[in-house]
């Protein structure tokens, strides 16, 4: 069996490997899937991605499979229920932000026809393929992620700053930051 070269952040954890190999950097255009990544990335702020990844199924269950229409209607009793759920990250501000973001997400859908059309416009509707050789070359944020964060904030989003937006862009394939040595980099496929 040939050992595959992966990005340096990908640990030996099977869940991390599966995420790296099958999801990270793959373009997502589906609104439901985009909302899921928005929620997960906002909860990840200040934590490691593996923490969120290991709780992903619990998040799906707790947040109605990331149905933004249902989440937008959550009330205070639902917030309290989520705060008791040990399977997710129990952060009151992030839970409240998720409800607020679900409402803002729907408003953007109504204004643009889809959230995907709006969010992908930041990269002219096609992935940016970077060619970084080392992890230290990969930025934490870019001019585009700063512009996206500003627009999201103006549209009512919370917990979506420029660093979180860049992580979201990487996760949803808006940018492909697989290292040039990684088997998943487009030049190696």
Task: Evaluate whether residue 9 is within a structural domain.
Answer: no
How high is the pLDDT of residue 189? 87
Report CA dihedral (181, 182, 183, 188) to the nearest 10 degrees: -50
Task: Evaluate whether residue 17 is within a structural domain.
Answer: no
Task: Confirm whether 120 is a catalytic residue.
Answer: no
* Residue segments in the chain with a per-residue pLDDT below the cut of 50: none
Q: How many domains does the chain have?
A: 1
How high is the pLDDT of residue 125? 98
How high is the pLDDT of residue 154? 98
Task: Evaluate whether residue 131 is within a structural domain.
Answer: yes
Owning domain of residue 96: 25-188
Tokens at 59, concatenated? 């998040």
Using one digit for the tens of pLDDT, what is the confidence trace for 127-166?
Answer: 999 999 999 999 999 999 999 999 999 999 999 999 999 9
Task: Confirm whether 49 is a catalytic residue.
Answer: yes
Q: List the catalytic residue out of 9, 49, 96, 132.
A: 49
Task: Evaluate whether residue 1 is within a structural domain.
Answer: no
Task: Evaluate whether residue 20 is within a structural domain.
Answer: no
Q: For residue 168, give every residue at least 6 positions away whose Cβ sits within 8 Å of its Cβ, in sequence order, or none.
A: 37, 38, 41, 160, 174
CATH code of the domain in which 136 resides: 1.10.340.30
Task: Evaluate whether residue 172 is within a structural domain.
Answer: yes
How high is the pLDDT of residue 105? 98
How high is the pLDDT of residue 2? 63
The full DSSP string for 111-128 is HHS-HHHHHHGGGTTS-E
Task: Evaluate whether residue 132 is within a structural domain.
Answer: yes
Task: Confirm whether 68 is a catalytic residue.
Answer: no
Task: Evaluate whether residue 138 is within a structural domain.
Answer: yes
How high is the pLDDT of residue 116? 98
d(CA 119, CA 34): 9
Q: List the catalytic residue out of 16, 24, 36, 41.
A: 41
């Amino acid at each position: 069996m040939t050992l595959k070269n992966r990005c340096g952040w990908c640990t030996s954890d099977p869940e991390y490997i599966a995420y790296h190999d099958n999801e990270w950097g793959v373009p997502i255009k589906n609104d439901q899937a985009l909302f899921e990544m928005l929620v997960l990335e906002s909860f990840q702020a200040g934590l490691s991605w593996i923490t969120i990844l290991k709780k992903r199924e619990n998040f799906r269950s707790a947040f109605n499979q990331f149905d933004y229409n249902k989440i937008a209607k959550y009330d205070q009793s639902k917030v309290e229920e989520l705060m008791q759920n040990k399977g997710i990250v129990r952060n009151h501000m992030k839970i409240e932000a998720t409800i607020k973001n679900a409402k803002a997400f729907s408003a953007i859908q109504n204004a643009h026809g889809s959230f995907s059309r709006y969010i992908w416009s930041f990269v002219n509707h096609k992935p940016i393929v970077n060619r970084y050789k080392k992890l230290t070359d990969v930025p934490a944020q870019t001019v585009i992620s700063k512009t996206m964060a500003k627009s999201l904030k103006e549209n009512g989003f919370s917990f979506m700053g420029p660093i979180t937006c860049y992580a979201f862009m990487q996760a949803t394939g808006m940018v492909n930051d697989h290292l040039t040595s990684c088997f998943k980099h487009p030049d190696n496929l």
